[in-house]
Each structure stands twice: as C-alpha cells, then as structure tokens.
Amino acid sequence: MENSFYKDLVSRTSIGYAYHRIVLDDTGRPEDYEFLDVNQAFKKLTGLHIENIVHKRVTELLPEIKSDPFDWIGFYGHVALNGENWEFEQFSQPLGRWYRVQVFSPERLYFVTLFIDTTDHKLAEEALRASEAKFRLYIDNAPDGIFVMDEHGRFLDANPAACTLLGYTSGELSCMSLADAIPPDARDEASSSLAHLIERGRDKREIRLSKKDGASV
C-alpha cells in the first residue's frame, strides 16, 4: 500500500523525476547512465517525448550531452559512487533549458534526480539585470544631479552630476541626509516636499541646496 502511494505521488507530481543507474567503463570511471524510471513531468520538462525511455542510455537520447560544458555524466557518476546529495541550478546545452536539480544516491551506482524548469525565471533575471544596467548608465551620464533617498531622507545614491553640484564624493553623500544638504531656512520646505513625495509619489518644487563649501545652489 505504501509503495503504491509513493508511485502514485511520483506519477502525479509536476516535478520531474528520474531514476538512473550509472554505467562505468573498464577502469571504473563513469561513461554513461541508464534511465530506469521516469514520470510524465520528466517528459514534459525535458521535451523527451519518447515511448521507451526506460533502459535507454543518456548518450542514446542526447548524444550531444558529452559536448556540454557541464559534465553531467561525471557529476552524476560522482554522486552515484559516493552516496552524495546535491542541489544545484544548471543550464543543459542539449535541451536548451535551465534546471534546478536535486540529486541523491539511494545506493551505490544508482541515483535519483528531481528537477524543475527555471528557464523563464533565469531569462527574467537577465532581462532585469540588462534593464538595471541601462538605467544605471543613464543615471551616471545624466547632466542633472540625481539623488536617491529613503523615506527618512537619507541619501542612498547620487550620480556624478549630483556630487559635482554639491562638492561631495558619493561616499560622503552616503553618510548624509537631505537635511544635511539644505540651508536651515529651507528645511521646512524640504521636509514638506519629502512628505508630499512619500504620500503622493511625486512632488515638484524648487529647493535650495547647500554645497560642501557653504555656498547655496
């Protein structure tokens, strides 16, 4: 009863599952591995819609796996020979997808993989990094001074134009707040502006700033 429950669980899960046996060469080094069992999610996540995967070797199904920069056979062989347990994220060149994989060895020469496809997440991360880099490039090269503050008015970032405007280095500004860069007679106006900015998401007004040498701009 218990065994059938786990088989049913594996068959229904959306997580890819495969049970393998490592194949060794004459010197005892891993040279291939054989599929002993897979679930439907395995076929969906890999695109290997092959009727008879069981008892096929990975080099039969994916001959190009040996040219993948990541040594899948060697890595899984190490796990199967040493009874280890690993979780990692890796790109599969033959399948053209990113996967997060948990692999463990229940007994010597055998290993189980559980995995999910993380390709969309990785592509989104790369797009975000590219967008942030583009935004950073714009900020750094903007002719106007740009300050980034938290809700308390503390400076989190400032572009080169802002540093030049006030005469401070970016390191010095990171230890300062808006109040430190405002003349005493303009602080009430600056405080009101910050409050409106936090409440409404925007505020537009002219406020004088104090430079490092004491002059106002």
DSSP 128-154: HHHHHHHHHHHHHH-SS--EEE-TT-B
For residues 101 and 86, give the distance between their C-alpha atoms in angstroms, rounded to a whole number.
8
Distance CA 25, CA 23 (A): 7
Per-residue model confidence (pLDDT) at position 3? 64
CA 216 to CA 14: how far, in whole Å?
63
97 within 8 A of 125, measured Cβ to Cβ: no
* Phi–psi pair at 92, nearest 5 degrees: -100, 110
Residue at 28: amino acid letter: G
Q: Say if CB 79 and CB 111 are below 8 A apart.
A: yes
Instruction: List, for residues 10-50, the tens digit of each pLDDT value.
Output: 778 999 999 999 999 999 999 999 999 999 999 999 998 77
- pTM given for the model: 0.69
For the chain, what is the radius of gyration of the CA atoms?
29
Q: What is the pLDDT of residue 86?
A: 97
Tokens 């004491």 correspond to 214
On the question of pLDDT at 9 being above 80, the answer is no
Query: What are the pLDDT digits (tens) for 127-144?
Result: 999 999 999 899 999 999
pLDDT on residue 1 = 47
pLDDT tens string 160-198: 999 999 999 999 999 999 999 999 988 889 889 989 888
What pLDDT, on the 0 to 100 scale, is given for residue 181?
92
pLDDT band at 6 (very low <50, low <70, confident <90, very high): low
Residues 79-104 have pLDDT tens digits of 999 999 999 999 999 999 999 999 99
d(CA 10, CA 28): 32
Q: Report the amino acid identity of residue 198.
A: I
Torsion of CA 196, 199, 203, 205, to 10 degrees: 0
**What tokens were used for 77?**
């062989």
Q: Going by DSSP bridges, is the β-strand pair 147-149/97-107 parallel, antiparallel, or unpaired?
A: unpaired
Cβ distance 25 to 31 under 8 Å?
A: yes
* Span 58-79, pLDDT tens digits: 999 999 999 999 999 999 999 9
pLDDT band at 159 (very low <50, low <70, confident <90, very high): very high
User: Hey, how many other C-beta atoms are within 10 angstroms of the C-beta on 161?
Assistant: 15
